[in-house]
Every structure is written in structure tokens, then in C-alpha cells.
Chains A and B, each alone.
Chain A
Amino acid sequence: MIQHLDPWTFINGAYAVSALFLAGASLLAWRRLRRASAHLTQAEGL
């Protein structure tokens, strides 16, 4: 018997994984850059 699958479940999953990765990676990179910049400014002031 051929099982009918709703493709939108899989489409939504693929887009969600992509969006979560891009957003998460961007957020982590931005936070790391901001922290590094703040620490450098602090170290230069010493």
C-alpha cells in the first residue's frame, strides 16, 4: 500500500532547520564579536 505523506511537514522542517542554523550562527558570531571588542577596549585601557 502506498503511504501518502504530507510534503509540507518536511518542507517546514527543512526551512526551520535552515532558518534556525542561520539565525543561531549569526547570533553567536555577533555576541562573540561584541564580547571580543569590549574585552579589547578594556585591555587597551589598562
Chain B
Amino acid sequence: MTIYHAAVELLLQQPQVSDWPLLQSALRQATGKPPVAWDFPIAGCVAAGAEEQQAIPPVAAITCAHMAILLIDDILDEDPRGKHNEVGAGRAANLAAGLYSLGQHMLDAYPCAHPGLAAAALSQMMGNTAYGQDLDVQNDHSEEGYWAVARAKSSPYFAAALTLGGLYGGASQPLAEQLRQFGALFGEVMQIHDDLNDCLAVPANVDWLQGRAPLPLLFAELVPHPQRERFVALRSQVQQPDALREAQRILVSSGAISYCVNELVLRHQRLQSMLDEMQLVEPGLLQQILDHAIAPIEQLFASVQGNP
């Protein structure tokens, strides 16, 4: 059994779960679908010098948080795949509240050496993410607005996952703070990757269709490049394959993709420096996570190497 499955099993054993069929079924559905970065608490825990089994409670807490974030996000985005379509927005929002509470309960019931710090890490994550989700739906098309949303919405989850893992691995408060900063910056990396992935998708991703401002699209809209007007005109037509293709070509030729790649490279360099500076017992898993994140960029650089 993996640490993730052990964490879900532990969640299912909690009395408040067996008393609430909707919560129980949601957790059962999550068994086969680990959340993104579910292994971050393990990486933090092992890095601090403990066995990975010590990370089961924070993996459980992060799993609950992730499920809650998705429920709320889907309501806000009116996502047709969201649970709210099945049970109604009210019950879905209430389920999210129950999941947040269950995550906190797991940290209380299976405490680490610094229970106050762990509780604060999770509650800050929940509060900051909610703020970020609220900023996001306001759809501010500005460079500053983009980074404000990315830092508020994407960073807290990764930051909390690593911090909690570190705390359950016996990390000191200063090391837990270093792990938090590493996770926060890594959250920005994940957001940029996500934006690149979505913008290059065929057919057009909802980011194009709902007038959202992921990073490459924001660049192509804001920077005064020669094809800017054409790009803005194409944006409303991307449901047509030819228009999408032309708009995506402009993302490449205008420098929008290069800009995002550069932002990823700069963050990767900072993350590597942060990792090198941390006094970790076992940095291997964190290094693997970092290497994995930069792999697509190295692949792209290698791919264009022969170009003029």
C-alpha cells in the first residue's frame, strides 16, 4: 500500500467520515485519483530526516485540502465536470467546508512535534487560497494582477504541503520556513507550466474561451509586438481550428512562449539555490521534483537547438 492509499484509508476510518455518506463517497472516489503534489509532504518529511510513513497525516490533510479547493474552484468556474452539478452548489460548498475541517482534524488527531505550526500552515493555506480564488474570478488582465493571483492561489498549496511534510519529519522552525518558501516558489512554476499547457491545447482550452488571462495570452495581449492587434482579434474566434492555430503561432513568434520559459528558468535557478542552501538530511526527492519540473524546458531547448 502506498503512503497515499494509507492516508485515504486513515481518513475513511475517522468517525465523522463514516457518519457522512457524501464525504465518505467523495473520499472513496479520491482513492484512485491522487491529488497533484500529494507526495510533497513525503518529500518534505524525508528531507527532514524521517521515514516516509511519518508523512501519512499531512498527506491526508493535503488530500482533503485539494479536494476542497477543487470543489470551490469548479463552482466558481461553473465547470460542467464539477461535483456541484451532481449535488448542487450549496452541498458542494458544504462538503468543501467539511473536508477542510477533516484535514485540520487529521493534524490534531495525529500531531507532530510542532502542532501549532502545523495547524497554522494548513489554516494559512486555506485562507490564502480562498483569497486567491476570489482574486482569480475577478479576471484582472494585468501583469501585476497575474502574479498576485499566482502567488495567492497556486503557491499556498505547495508551500503548505512541503511545510507540513517537513514538520512531520522533525524539521526545525527555520527549516520548515525554508521549505515553505521553496514550495511557494514551486507553486508559481506549476502555474506557469499549467498556463503553457492550457494555451497550447487543441481544441481551445476554456482559458481562451472564457476570456481568462493565463501568462502566454497575457503577454500576447499586453506587449506591443507587431501581431498584437491580430492576436486580440483572433482570441474571440479560437473555436475555429484555423484561428486557434494562427493565435498559437503568434504565441510562439511574439515571444510569449519564450517569456514563460524564461520565467520558468529563472525560478528553477532560484529553487536550485534554495535547495542547495537548506540543511537537509535527504534532499533526493526534492531534487527529483525540481528536475522533473525543468525537464520540459530542457527538452524544448534541445528541440530548437538546430534551428537558425
The answer to whether A and B belong to the same complex is: no
B interface residue numbers (CB < 8 A to A): none
